[in-house]
Chains A and B, each alone.
Chain A
Amino acid sequence: MTITGNGQLVERTTSAGPWRAFLAVLGRDIFVTGKELPAFLAQVLVQPFFFLLVFVVVLGRGGFVSPDYGSIMLPGLLAMNAMFAALQAVAFPLVFEFSWSREIEDRLLAPMPIPLVAVEKIAYASLRGLVASVLMVPIGMLMIDTHWPASGLGPALLMVVLGALLGATMGMVIGTAVPPRRINILFAVIFTPLMFTGSVQYPWHSLTDLRWFQVISALNPLTYVSEGVRAALVPQVPHLPLWLCIVVAAAAVVVLALLGIRGFLRRALD
């Protein structure tokens, strides 16, 4: 096709533009991750590795925890890893990019709608969460003795993807709401409670005698991801029904995505 006039050329680039820009920005994030691969691996694998080491290997040795605790914990860790790797991949960079470095400005000036810049962040972070979770599988398999039914792998993957999306959207809400001066309180008042009330280290049904904690756990969307992964991979352990886990996790993703993108727009445009 020959381009006859300037107008036609411009029209063509603008119609193909947004998604091309989207992919280019995603390419930038993946390129940067590639450059910092060891840091990425350390960031996503060290913590769950130590969880397994201490709770399963060390405590299991002296009989402080039952021998099959590992098979309860590993699915929870897959859920936690998916969510937190994604959450951190959005929340921290956002706080910095909007305030000190301002480097997000160049992406906000790319020929794409601003919400798409937010969607890219969510997509990239979810990818990161998914990879972090999947990488955890061989490590877990080497450290503990467990068996997963093949039929559970599909649903487990779905739950992990939902967990990653949940973390990414939650990260966007946090990253656009927290002023940079307050970033250090994120760990203490947000991350730690989220991590320990998300049914990662315990099955939700085991809390029937600790009603208040069961209620708090039910309010943490991570619970539904952990329980969902458990429902898929270790169905013999009492768990919440898989459909409920999918519905609640998906609903949380939608709500948090809307809130997060709204926050992003508020920060991106004065």
Chain B
Amino acid sequence: MTNQPAAEVRELVKRYPKSPTNAVDGLSFTVERGEVFGLLGPNGAGKTTTVGVLTTRVLPTGGSARVTGLDVVADAVAVRSRLAVVPQRVNLDRSLSVRDNLIFHAAYHGVGRAERNCRADALLDRMGLQDKAKAVVDDLSGGQSQRVMIARGLMHRPEVLFLDEPSTGLDPQARLFVHDQVRELRDEGVTIVLTTHDMDEAQKLSDRVGIVDHGKLLTLDTPGGLIRSLPGCGTVEVTVAPGTESADELVARLIELPGVERVEQLAAAPPSGVPSDMPPIPNGPGRIAAPPAPAGVDRDIRLRLYVDTEPAALVGPVVALLGSHDAQVSDLSLGEPSLEDIFISLTGRDLR
């Protein structure tokens, strides 16, 4: 039993009644025991539907899905006892207190009375919810509900935990807390399938990431592997003070350079000397106010070049080209491609 994969989807198709298209359209992937598997995709890609099939709530139209080796349709009852779901939307029992939500969930799963009391207290503690034990569900914040749902899911010691967009709508603290929990659970040997459209989250947490769009799997690899799969693709970011030519003209010239795929003008230039992805330092009390910006600075423009070769190879040509048009480069940085670049390059920029 235990050498079966944690979850397995084969040629999965789901078409909702009255829908003209397939929400999931021939999806196949395998989740190994003990890994954190990220399912990444834009809105409407079919992530929740896939999780729904794996958690026995959505009936597949075609193909098969197995959890711990058991078919989700034929062995639905056994499958349910081995998994837990933290859904995208709160579905806590509003007639029960927080602690009773955990207790009754465990009772449904046949956990004995002594054990469920003890485990409920331990999990409330772990999720930082001790003082919310008696609270009613309606009084919880979004982040608290999320933590209660995670605690609830863990009450019956599932082998596979499904987290559908675990940190959407959470503040940074709550998000980090959830991330820490995911890592801890992984260390305890729980297999985790999480869906997200947050690149950082997928990159940080997942051992492997599958990118889906329109119900199809576009690619599947480790985050590192995915990034390496676009060799030489990266970015060059330059901050320039344009001379005689306007920003648009400079963009038009840069795009002519061999190796440059696309040029994007970024928002206003940050104060010089501060790395572009750091927030500006606030002028707190006792801090000496920054000197007034020199006249030229507010004319600075920031450009990001997407390149299909090694970014470093383009430094010379870019600087030379800008110099020959009287534009003064004040800052230049090279960017490795991120998961976001891969995501965008695979799924396009259209809004769903």
Q: Which residues of A contact B (CB under 8 A)?
A: 6-7, 10, 13-14, 16-18, 20-21, 24-25, 27-28, 31-32, 35-36, 101-103, 105-114, 268-270
* A113 to B, closest residue via Cβ: B77
* 9 closest cross-chain pairs (CB), A and B: A110-B108, A24-B107, A111-B81, A102-B91, A270-B58, A105-B91, A32-B95, A103-B93, A24-B108
Contacts of B100 in A (CB 8 A): 31
Whole-angstrom distance between the Cβ of A8 and the nearest chain B Cβ: 10
Q: Is B5 on the interface with A (CB-CB < 8 A)?
A: no
Contacts of A16 in B (CB 8 A): 110
Q: How many inter-chain residue pairs (CB < 8 Å) link A and B?
A: 92
The stretch from B49-57, B120-128, B167-175 touching chain A is: B49-57
* B59 to A, closest residue via Cβ: A269
A103 with B110: CB separation less than 8 A: no
A269-B57 CB under 8 A given contacts A16-B110, A111-B110: yes
Whole-angstrom distance between the Cβ of B240 and the nearest chain A Cβ: 53
A21 with B57: CB separation less than 8 A: no
| B77 touches which of A32, A101, A112, A270 (Cβ 8 Å) | A112
Return 15 A-B CB contacts under 8 Å, by A number.
A6-B1, A14-B78, A17-B77, A18-B77, A20-B110, A27-B107, A32-B95, A101-B94, A102-B89, A102-B91, A106-B93, A106-B152, A111-B80, A111-B110, A113-B77
Q: For the complex, count residues of B whose C-beta is within 8 A of A.
A: 34
Whole-angstrom distance between the Cβ of B82 and the nearest chain A Cβ: 8
Whole-angstrom distance between the Cβ of B66 and the nearest chain A Cβ: 15
Q: Is B251 on the interface with A (CB-CB < 8 A)?
A: no
Contacts of A27 in B (CB 8 A): 104, 107
**Interface of A, helix, strand, loop or mixed by DSSP:** helix
Q: Is B233 on the interface with A (CB-CB < 8 A)?
A: no
B91 with A25: CB separation less than 8 A: no
> Bound state CA distance, A24 and B110, in angstroms?
8
Whole-angstrom distance between the Cβ of B201 and the nearest chain A Cβ: 24
Other contacts beyond A18-B77, A31-B104, A113-B77: 15, CB < 8 A: A7-B1, A14-B78, A17-B81, A21-B108, A28-B93, A28-B107, A36-B95, A103-B91, A105-B87, A106-B93, A109-B85, A110-B108, A111-B109, A111-B110, A112-B77
A110-B58 CB under 8 A given contacts A14-B78, A18-B77, A105-B91: no
**Interface of B, helix, strand, loop or mixed by DSSP:** loop
Q: Which B86-117 residues have a C-beta within 8 angstroms of A?
A: 87, 89-96, 100-101, 104-105, 107-110
B57 with A110: CB separation less than 8 A: no
Contacts of A6 in B (CB 8 A): 1-2
A109 with B77: CB separation less than 8 A: no
> Bound state CA distance, A24 and B108, in angstroms?
5
Q: Is B16 on the interface with A (CB-CB < 8 A)?
A: yes
Contacts of A32 in B (CB 8 A): 95-96
* B105 to A, closest residue via Cβ: A106
Q: Mark B21-35, 1 if CB is under 8 A from A, else 0.
A: 000000000000000
B57 with A111: CB separation less than 8 A: no
> Bound state CA distance, A113 and B57, in angstroms?
12
> Bound state CA distance, A270 and B58, in angstroms?
5
Whole-angstrom distance between the Cβ of A34 and the nearest chain B Cβ: 11
B77 with A25: CB separation less than 8 A: no
Contacts of B95 in A (CB 8 A): 32, 35-36, 103
> Bound state CA distance, A114 and B79, in angstroms?
13
Among A6, A102, A111, find the residue whose CB has the most chain B CB atoms closer than 10 A: A111
* B68 to A, closest residue via Cβ: A10
B81 with A14: CB separation less than 8 A: yes
